[in-house]
Amino acid sequence: MKARDRERESALEDLRKTLHPGDTVYTVLRHVSRSGMSRVIDCYIIEDNTPHWLSYRVAKALGATFSDKTEGIKVGGCGMDMGFHLVNSLSAALFPGGMTCLGDGGEKRSHMCPANDHANGDRDYTVGHQHSKGAGAYALRHHWI
């Protein structure tokens, strides 16, 4: 196994301990290139009202370039929400086998299961049932700061 692959697996393992389905990853836009075709985005999770920086581990987990200058993840492309794209890609890497349903959230609808299966016809919000492989990409929520 190459060093890059070991580093990627180590970052994924570490992030799986930190991030769980239903968690929100917060992103901050740090830089946009002059052409507008790339940007640098920073990633955080907030626990106990304290932000925890994830960017370096996220870059390693996704095999993306980490910008030492702006301390964020370089993301190429435009014409879509690149922060969502980054979190969606991270979620797919962390949960490739899908995820278990988080339920309907009860009175707190904001805690409703984020799996895309529900938007595609799965009306079963029973806590614990398994969602498809593709649902793993929607396990994490995204929010810009």
According to the model, what pLDDT value does residue 43 have? 98
Helices within the chain (DSSP H only):
3-18, 55-62, 82-94
Percent of the chain with pLDDT over 90: 66
Average pLDDT, the chain: 91
**Is there a contact between 34 and 22 (Cβ–Cβ < 8 Å)?**
no
- Predicted TM-score (pTM) of this structure: 0.91
Q: Which of 37, 93, 41, 23 lies closest to 63 in space, CA to CA?
A: 93
For residue 26, pLDDT over 70 is answered with yes
According to the model, what pLDDT value does residue 133 have? 78
For residue 57, pLDDT over 70 is answered with yes
What's the burial of 134, exposed, middle or buried (CB within 10 Å: 0-12/13-18/19+)?
middle
The span from the first CA to the last CA of the chain, in angstroms, equals: 37
Lowest-pLDDT range, 15-19, 36-40, 83-87, 118-122? 118-122
**Residue pLDDT, tens place only, 83-142:** 999 999 999 999 999 888 888 877 776 678 888 888 888 888 888 888 887 888 899 999
Name residue 43's amino acid. Answer: C
Evaluated on CA atoms 104, 107, 110, 111, the torsion sign reads negative
For residue 14, pLDDT over 80 is answered with yes
Name residue 69's amino acid. Answer: K
